[in-house]
Chain A
Amino acid sequence: MIPTAFEYERATSLDDAIARLGAASGSAKVIAGGHSLVPLMKLRLSEPQLLIDIARIPELAGIREIDGRIEIGAGTVHHAVATSPLIQRLCPVVADAAAAIGDQQVRNRGTIGGSLAHADPSADYPAAMLAADAEFHLKGPDGWRIVKADAFFQDLFTVDLGTGEILAKVRIAPAKASAYAKLYQRASHFAIVGVAAALDASGGTIRSARVGLTGASTHAQRLTGVEAALTGKPASADTIEAASSSAGDAPQVVNSDLHASESYRRAMVGVFTRRALAAALARE
């Protein structure tokens, strides 16, 4: 690792981190697990002059149930999310996605806040956040701001997060009948296509559905056509098949690279939509 020179500070509280970030006026980056930022620094694609370490800020830690939602501190590592009994029970799609990230070493170090703020187009979490109707609690010099997942992911590596703001916590909605299915890129283990599905299918009818897609396009997005095709229909394999068959047509822009062409990706969107929905329904 041979990055450009940088200074390093450890913030003691969220407000302390925000103050330090503000004082650096754009030349600083916050770091927690470092699993998105450090690779960029190694390649000198990111050259921050100051790193503000937020990994040990108590306010950013922990998983808890609040107001019928699950709150996950931004500093929570993927392994903790993947193995949280609370998340596994109430919103398994998020645990699935966390378990699908990288390898054990990565999951022990990388954090949910870091991954979401970085917004790699192939990251697993964003799809799960869309399915879990997540809201992101951001704090900046002017106080708190809450952004829904639907509005948070805007473009390639671009999210609704100001330079002076820090993503502090994530709140997800319970969705017992939810699951994440992913086609692994075999080198990076990122998602070529990842689909997160959350259903309310109590009583044999799909009352509502939220389906998030990652990997296929510039940024995670909801498959609203699939959701509409499911809603109000019987909770059956046939419904799922019909709803997923043309799921790959939905994204306007689809990535194409060495590992998967556009047409293959579109086809895989359908396959993994069906797999995610079937797995979600099995948990109802």
Chain B
Amino acid sequence: MAASPVLPKLVGQRVKRREDPRLIQGGATYVDDVKIAGMQYVQFKRSDIAHGRIRSIDVSAAREMEGVEAVFTGKDIAAMLKPLPIGTPFTSPPHYAVAIDAVRYGGEAVAVVVASDRYVARDAADAIVVDYEPLPAVIDPELAMQGKPTVIYPDFPNNLSVPLISSGTGVHGSTVDDSAIDKAFAAAEVVVRQRMHNHRLAPSAMEPRGVVAHWEPSKGFMTIWSSTQNPHILRTMIAGMLDVGESQIRAIAPEVGGGFGAKINIYPEEYVVAAVSKRLGLPLKWIEERSEAFVATTHGRGIIGYLEMAARKDGRVTGVKLRLIADIGAYNMLLTAAIPTLTMMMANATYDFPAIRTTLTEVFTNKTPTDAYRGAGRPEATYFIERGMDLLARELNMDPAELRRRNFIAKDRFPFHTQTGAVYDSGDYEKALDAALTAADWEGLKKQREAMRSDGRIVGLGLAMYVEVCGMGPSAALPSTGGWEHSQVTVERDGRITATTGVSPHGQGNETTFAQMLADQFGVPLEHVTILHGDTGVVKQGIGTFGSRSQAVGGTALHMAGTKVKTKMAKFAAAMLEAHEDDIVFENGEVMVKGAPASAKKFSEIASFAYVPIPLPEGMEPGLSDEAFFEPSNNTYPFGCHIVMLEIDRETGEPKLLKVVAVDDAGNLINPLIVEGQIHGGLAQGIGQAMIEEVVYGEDGQLLTGSFMDYALPRAIDFPHFELHATVTPTPVNPLGAKGVGEAGTLGSTPAMVAAASDALGVPHVDMMLRPEKLWRIIQAQGGQHGSEQEGGRP
């Protein structure tokens, strides 16, 4: 037998994404590509005011239009759907899928049209007349906390959704002991204080949301396609709301054009389209328009932090207080209330703070609700704490890298129990810092900055460390969904491998990374492995893709299922080759007895035998298919260091990035090319928040950034080349040693940008986002010259 070329080991290699050809060439199938005979179209009539009572809704003209199947008001929908469930333990006012007697944010649905095509549906929605009694719009969360200008829910005084929760030193359940934190501040040699606003963002996936629901009355079964990050959660929630069994619903996430956290939530539109399909017995489609996406898809961030940091003159931080006020919008969605609690938890950052106290208040406002957005709570924590470290470094005239170094959690102290409730799995922060300083040539950059400044240019450097919580599990970390993942691996009769995964990739590249893993595990070519996902009819169980968990949790479940199948396959091979199963090796598309290459049989021959086993080896079942659930013992905590150099145009205030260096430690990497792609995206969104993206509301509650004409997304031309480097500190919480990387780019880049802008302007802190006019005004106040004006912090 001729020797075949040896298959390369694929894990750790820069394998190009198998997903890309169909995405680039228009071959992907999105929700809007799903067409069913007899399908009708849904259009939501939405509120054009932020806050008001509904006096009346006149749907008569809409109902009479040719092609209109049905029109439903909020009351009609409430008869089909109870108030929406949330996934957090906080009390919350009832949230009806379609408003009944009041609207609480611009864009809230007030009526539903079903019609024969999209255009008729839209015409009919325009023909619905809603009479509102306008109420004052609650926009500023800090005024809202005082009940001003009004109270949105009478049962929630001062608009407080979560009045106050505390975490950190001296907090044990509901008892709070201030002595340690008070002592730290009383003894402090230096204290810095700053109010900061981590503003709202619109997630802006390239594909807006969409739903197709098809209830088949004669089967008592629904198929629902949705642009979601988690079809299994969707199935559970829809079943609960329609009062049918999970076994009666098949949920499919077809190609999903980006989610960024905003497609974790199960939305009113998903429930309504499903419920109305069941009511009418018709297949229905709803596709979100871009302008709807700005108001009807959850926003991210939106949190104010009052930071106080106490320290010694040698730069050692002795105490941290962080008071958080989250502007959550008008309703609690699936994870709304939980996101800011991650900010509390991750305020410990990479530092060994002797005392830290975080408090959180969540406030209702007349805005689109917030929920997860790439990073989801952790970039906010990183921003507040890293800016504090910079303020301290400035106050002490110390290099910001050196100040951080003096406060790191030492690498021999992992697992490290933070006072804010996290158990950091592994870390070597100094190594990441040093790698970044070396890669960026930090000392050289400082000289370059001085040289440019002496030419009259306004140039600054920023550096930020981050630690992120991801790879979410165990179930205690995700009590509303479970914190495990599932996979089934099948070696088919012809030796090809099919694997299902409960994660639901929508840009993460798991069809490639998971195939790399199985190809190596079974010694077969990558092309022989198919990864299936995003369909509860195909994938038995799963949680979904969020919290940078796919590789760490889903990848491990896949590896475990693969191991089970491989073990069984070795038994079949042992029977065929008359050897002991422990002596069977899989390599290069063949299965053989160790040390006896002449014994080799093709992988496909063993597979074939397993399905037609004559004779069936004693004690065995035919077939090669098995599954695994994996629940990690802990989250993972990747970390890194981001450095940026930025110049501000003296005449216009326009910021321009000159350099971005990122060192990220995500543990072991399956595919560095995909990891770098994830970091690129994360950096773009993290830098985007600092420099160009901001959701802005007018005082009347109108969204002023309701289209891409006013809401800026970063583009390739906004960035220099990203210089990426990695350190590798494997996690002990899964056998792959992989931590997760989807969100990390958004953590360090944002504070590094603001640090660089502040450094450039010679001020302690300039709050995001870095609008040219804002920077120009600071320069003007300095007389157009560099470095005198100071923006003071409010305590």
Question: Residues on A close to B: CB < 8 A?
Answer: 2, 4-5, 43-44, 183, 186-188, 190, 258-261, 264, 267-268, 271
Contact A2 B118 (CB under 8 A): yes
Q: Which of A187, A259, A271 has the most CB of B within 10 A?
A: A187
Query: Residue B711 at the A interface, CB < 8 A?
Result: yes
Q: Which of A5, A44, A258, A268 has the most CB of B within 10 A?
A: A258
How far is the CB of B778 from the nearest CB of chain A, in Å?
Answer: 12
Query: Residue B129 at the A interface, CB < 8 A?
Result: no
Picked from A2, A190, A268, the residue with its CB within 8 Å of the CB of B289 is A2
Picked from B289, B652, B712, B713, the residue with its CB within 8 Å of the CB of A271 is B652
Contact B289 A188 (CB under 8 A): no
Cα A146 to Cα B291 with chains together (Å)? 40
Which residues of the other chain, A, contact B118 by a CB distance below 8 angstroms? Answer: 2
Which B115-138 residues have C-beta < 8 A from chain A?
118-119, 122-123, 126
Picked from B126, B291, B712, B773, the residue with its CB within 8 Å of the CB of A264 is B773
Contact A187 B709 (CB under 8 A): yes
Asked whether A187 and B122 contact (CB < 8 A) given A258-B696, A271-B652, the answer is no
Asked whether A4 and B696 contact (CB < 8 A) given A43-B291, A187-B710, A188-B709, the answer is no
When C-beta atoms are compared, the residue in chain B nearest to A261 turns out to be B773
Contact A183 B652 (CB under 8 A): yes
Cα A258 to Cα B712 with chains together (Å)? 12
When C-beta atoms are compared, the residue in chain A nearest to B122 turns out to be A2
When C-beta atoms are compared, the residue in chain A nearest to B691 turns out to be A186
Contact B712 A186 (CB under 8 A): yes
When C-beta atoms are compared, the residue in chain B nearest to A39 turns out to be B709
Which residues of the other chain, B, contact A267 by a CB distance below 8 angstroms? Answer: 776, 780
Cα A267 to Cα B692 with chains together (Å)? 21
Cα A86 to Cα B724 with chains together (Å)? 44
Cα A225 to Cα B705 with chains together (Å)? 36
Query: Residue B651 at the A interface, CB < 8 A?
Result: yes
Contact B651 A271 (CB under 8 A): yes
Query: Residue B708 at the A interface, CB < 8 A?
Result: yes
Contact A260 B692 (CB under 8 A): no
Cα A181 to Cα B752 with chains together (Å)? 31
Query: Residue B477 at the A interface, CB < 8 A?
Result: no
Cα A259 to Cα B773 with chains together (Å)? 8
Cα A271 to Cα B118 with chains together (Å)? 48
10 A-B pairs besides A187-B713, A260-B773 with CB distance below 8 A are: A2-B122, A5-B119, A183-B652, A187-B709, A187-B711, A188-B709, A258-B704, A264-B776, A267-B776, A271-B652
Cα A268 to Cα B775 with chains together (Å)? 13
Total interface residues on B, using CB and 8 Å?
26
Picked from B119, B712, B713, B776, the residue with its CB within 8 Å of the CB of A2 is B119
Which residues of the other chain, B, contact A188 by a CB distance below 8 angstroms? Answer: 708-710
Cα A277 to Cα B123 with chains together (Å)? 50
When C-beta atoms are compared, the residue in chain B nearest to A5 turns out to be B119
A-B pair count, CB < 8 Å, reads 45
Cα A261 to Cα B776 with chains together (Å)? 12
Q: Which of A2, A43, A259 has the most CB of B within 10 A?
A: A2
Contact B119 A187 (CB under 8 A): no
Q: Render B286-303 as a binary contact track against A, CB cut-off 8 A, 1 for contact.
A: 000101000000000000
Which residues of the other chain, A, contact B654 by a CB distance below 8 angstroms? Answer: 183
Which residues of the other chain, A, contact B123 by a CB distance below 8 angstroms? Answer: 4-5
Which residues of the other chain, B, contact A5 by a CB distance below 8 angstroms? Answer: 119, 123
Cα A5 to Cα B711 with chains together (Å)? 29
Which residues of the other chain, A, contact B780 by a CB distance below 8 angstroms? Answer: 267
When C-beta atoms are compared, the residue in chain A nearest to B121 turns out to be A2
Q: Which of A43, A44, A259 has the most CB of B within 10 A?
A: A259
When C-beta atoms are compared, the residue in chain A nearest to B780 turns out to be A267
When C-beta atoms are compared, the residue in chain A nearest to B692 turns out to be A186
Cα A264 to Cα B696 with chains together (Å)? 19
Which B329-363 residues have C-beta < 8 A from chain A?
none
Cα A44 to Cα B43 with chains together (Å)? 15
How far is the CB of B456 from the nearest CB of chain A, in Å?
Answer: 15
Which residues of the other chain, A, contact B652 by a CB distance below 8 angstroms? Answer: 183, 268, 271
Which residues of the other chain, B, contact A261 by a CB distance below 8 angstroms? Answer: 773
When C-beta atoms are compared, the residue in chain A nearest to B43 turns out to be A2
Cα A183 to Cα B123 with chains together (Å)? 39
Q: Render B682-703 as a binary contact track against A, CB cut-off 8 A, 1 for contact.
A: 0000000000100010000000
Contact B708 A187 (CB under 8 A): yes
How far is the CB of B761 from the nearest CB of chain A, in Å?
Answer: 16
Which residues of the other chain, A, contact B776 by a CB distance below 8 angstroms? Answer: 264, 267
Cα A2 to Cα B777 with chains together (Å)? 42
Contact B710 A258 (CB under 8 A): yes
How far is the CB of A83 from the nearest CB of chain B, in Å?
Answer: 19
When C-beta atoms are compared, the residue in chain A nearest to B696 turns out to be A258
A-B contact pairs, 19 of them (CB 8 A): A2-B119, A4-B119, A5-B123, A43-B291, A183-B652, A183-B654, A186-B712, A187-B705, A187-B709, A187-B711, A188-B709, A188-B710, A258-B696, A258-B704, A259-B773, A261-B773, A264-B773, A267-B780, A268-B652
Which residues of the other chain, A, contact B772 by a CB distance below 8 angstroms? Answer: 183, 186
Which residues of the other chain, B, contact A44 by a CB distance below 8 angstroms? Answer: 126
How far is the CB of B700 from the nearest CB of chain A, in Å?
Answer: 14
When C-beta atoms are compared, the residue in chain B nearest to A190 turns out to be B709
When C-beta atoms are compared, the residue in chain A nearest to B708 turns out to be A187
Cα A261 to Cα B777 with chains together (Å)? 11
Q: 8 closest pairs, A vs B, by CB?
A: A187-B712, A188-B709, A186-B712, A2-B122, A264-B773, A271-B651, A187-B710, A258-B704
Cα A258 to Cα B771 with chains together (Å)? 10
How far is the CB of B488 from the nearest CB of chain A, in Å?
Answer: 42
Which residues of the other chain, A, contact B711 by a CB distance below 8 angstroms? Answer: 187
When C-beta atoms are compared, the residue in chain A nearest to B709 turns out to be A188
Which residues of the other chain, B, contact A187 by a CB distance below 8 angstroms? Answer: 692, 705, 708-713
Cα A11 to Cα B129 with chains together (Å)? 39
How far is the CB of A29 from the nearest CB of chain B, in Å?
Answer: 18
Cα A259 to Cα B652 with chains together (Å)? 12
How far is the CB of B123 from the nearest CB of chain A, in Å?
Answer: 7
How far is the CB of A41 from the nearest CB of chain B, in Å?
Answer: 12
Cα A43 to Cα B291 with chains together (Å)? 9
Cα A115 to Cα B75 with chains together (Å)? 47
How far is the CB of A241 from the nearest CB of chain B, in Å?
Answer: 12
Cα A251 to Cα B705 with chains together (Å)? 27
Which residues of the other chain, A, contact B119 by a CB distance below 8 angstroms? Answer: 2, 4-5
Cα A188 to Cα B123 with chains together (Å)? 28
Cα A5 to Cα B773 with chains together (Å)? 42
Which residues of the other chain, B, contact A271 by a CB distance below 8 angstroms? Answer: 651-652
